[in-house]
Amino acid sequence: MANCVSCGRALPSFSFGEASNVCGDCRRAGIPPIPSAPVDPLSRSVRGVTYRPPFTVAIVGVNALVFAGMVATGVPLLKEPTYAQLLRWGADFGPLSLDGQPWRVLTSNYVHIGLWHIVLNMWGLWNLGRLAERIFGGWTYLLTYTACGIAGSLTSLFFHPHTPGAGASGAIFGLVGALISALYLGRLPFPKVAMQRMLRSLLIVVAVNLYLGAQVGVIDNSAHIGGLVMGLALGAVLGPELTKPREIRTAHERIVFVAAAILLVGLGAFARRQSGWVVPLERARQAINQGRVDEGIGELQQVLARRPDEEMGLDLLSYAYLLKNDYPRAEVALKRLLTSDPDDPTAQYNLGVVYQATDRYEQARELFLKLSLQTPENDKVWLSLGSSLKKLNRLPEAEQAFRQALAVNPKNSAAFLAIGQMQLELEQPDTAIDSFQHCLQIDPKSADAELGLSRAYLAKRMFKEAAGTLKKYQEIKASEQPPSQWSR
């Protein structure tokens, strides 16, 4: 930073129009400036040397290196990466960020989801960062960017704790907010017309991007708003001090960023208190997937004690009870879930399974019929509807439902099996053999199809074939796991 040639005081780090190497106090005292070349606030320093914003270049470079590392390790360049890939590189995620990995609220600002995501963010950062770095100075700019990024991550954890988040947009929105406040409140030496033009452009950027974020489901506007609010606040307290001497300004900035750090810690504690329920929820999910169902149920009870109507908790709890064949408790959880979301197709389907398992076939039929109208492309629903109809001895309707399942999914082996079993009951062994063979072509490990085929062969007095299929049935049955018919 240049100094006044008269008194040695530090000069502002930016200027418009004719640059001066004499401070304002000396000019008012009558000391004339030494003539110098015009200065562009974005491209030239007061000495006429090309201005290169080192911190903006560094931030863009770090983002580019992280993305290159992601691609080099197998993350798709153009397609969206998986959740596991994002988490491996430091994305924000409530069950991790709120449970021992708080560093993710920072690292997630340097992780991007595909080529276009990083290109658009870095383009915005380059255009805004150069101006912000020029106005605030390098280290103040970097701290502002970082604080706004963390604020965006914490806001996202509050509103969307169960969804991984990544990207620099929260920090970039923070720069926009800081610039708006600083330009409006900072009494900066910019021409009035230029000031109004910049403010108008920044406000348009905010409005357009928030609108797009509201329209596009995958964009996390909460992170944008969190970063923006932090930026507006920092710009409001930093802006009025920008034209003061370096010593005063530096002391003020220290206080501001200590206060910002305390605020962010408080926001983190608040997010953990409000959204910490996702931690036992994720533990429950992992426990259930690993077969520790009772442990998972215990974790879910903690979640539902805090959030009785939490849909993900009720969904997982009902699934856990179904795994234990505890149909009464599963029914209670499913009905609570359907109270919150009556049109949840998975909960309706699983409730129908509960009705079937407890011999309430008419209620199951009504539920599956409703689902077949809502989701006619779901072959599992048609299959379950056919099973309920068969139990009610409405065989023509049952066969029609099974064949509709095959129309939706010609590789539904269970539909072929059900049709074969019906044909066997109707003493149609020839067509039953054909149906069972179709089932085994799709699923060679179907023990029920081998058993049905054996019975069909016996009905035709084909004893050798029947003995062979019966042996296969016994081999498969000895090694198979109990099937699950419910959904998650």
Residue 9 CA to residue 4 CA, distance in Å, equals 5
Q: Which of 112, 117, 160, 224 is catalytic?
A: 224
Q: Which two tokens stand for residue 471?
A: 């042996």
The residues, any chain, with a CB within 8 Å of residue 421's CB and separated by 6 or more, are: 432, 448, 452
Q: Which two tokens stand for residue 304?
A: 């539902």
> Is 222 one of the catalytic residues?
no
Taking each helix axis as running N to C, give the angle between helix 54-72 and helix 138-159, from 0 to 180 degrees, rounded to the nearest 10: 50
Do residues 63 and 121 touch, judged by C-beta distance below 8 A? yes
Q: Residue 458: which H helix or E strand, with range?
A: helix 447-459
Q: Three-class SS of residue 48?
A: coil
> Is 438 one of the catalytic residues?
no
Cα torsion 85, 90, 94, 99 to 10°: value is: 120
Q: Which of 169, 372, 435, 454 is catalytic?
A: 169
Residue 314 CA to residue 357 CA, distance in Å, equals 20
C-alpha angle 142/148/154, rounded to 5°?
A: 135
Residue 356 CA to residue 363 CA, distance in Å, equals 8
Shortest CA distance to 326 belongs to which of 305, 348, 297, 347?
297
Instruction: Please give the DSSP secondary-structure letter assigned to residue 132.
Output: H
Q: Which two tokens stand for residue 256?
A: 């501001």
Q: Three-class SS of residue 302?
A: helix
Residue 58 CA to residue 55 CA, distance in Å, equals 5
Residue 11 CA to residue 9 CA, distance in Å, equals 6
Cα radius of gyration rounded to whole Å, the chain: 33
Annotated active-site positions, please? 169, 224
